Amino acid sequence: MVKVIMGLKGEGKTKKLIDLVKTAIDTESGDVVVIEGNAELTYDIPYRARLVQMSESGYEFLKGYISGLHSGNYDITHIFVDALLKLAGDKDLAKAEEFLNWVEAFGEKENVKFTITISADSTLATEGIKKFF
């Protein structure tokens, strides 16, 4: 399962993400991981979630990183990614759609849920991205 929260800066995407992390910790039996680009969520995310800080890296690196996280801990049941376009260093929504399709296939194969925020106008989303709303 992949869920995308998309909207412009200041629309409350990160607040929704934090609430969903708290819910996942309380309701899911496995480990929860949050990937962010800076240390802004350090005090907002409960200590039971693994908070990972990454710098701008690209979609291929993100794929490898997520695969590595999972191979190091098969108990991960939910991965949250805050500000996908910023982490990828690429604002091309077509590339973001390709990444989301990869994440969907990976999640189905490995039984991992994903929630991802994208800071962009939701009216500009491709049809492939809209299917994850």
Q: What string of pLDDT tens digits covers the 133 residues of the chain?
A: 999 999 999 999 999 999 999 999 999 999 999 999 988 899 999 999 999 999 888 999 999 999 999 999 999 999 999 999 999 999 999 999 999 999 999 999 999 999 999 999 999 999 999 999 9
In this structure, is residue 127 part of a structural domain?
no
In this structure, is residue 126 part of a structural domain?
no
In this structure, is residue 121 part of a structural domain?
no
Q: How many structural domains does the chain have? A: 1
Domain that holds residue 30: 2-112
CA geometry: angle at 65 spanning 38 and 81, to 5°? 45
Q: Whole-angstrom Cα distance, residue 122 to residue 133?
A: 10
Smallest Cα–Cα separation from 100: which of 71, 69, 79? 79
In this structure, is residue 117 part of a structural domain?
no
Q: What is the pLDDT of residue 92?
A: 96
Q: What is the pLDDT of residue 57?
A: 87
**Average per-residue pLDDT for the chain:** 96
In this structure, is residue 41 part of a structural domain?
yes
Q: Whole-angstrom Cα distance, residue 19 to residue 129?
A: 22
In this structure, is residue 122 part of a structural domain?
no
Q: Whole-angstrom Cα distance, residue 39 to residue 120?
A: 21
In this structure, is residue 120 part of a structural domain?
no
In this structure, is residue 123 part of a structural domain?
no
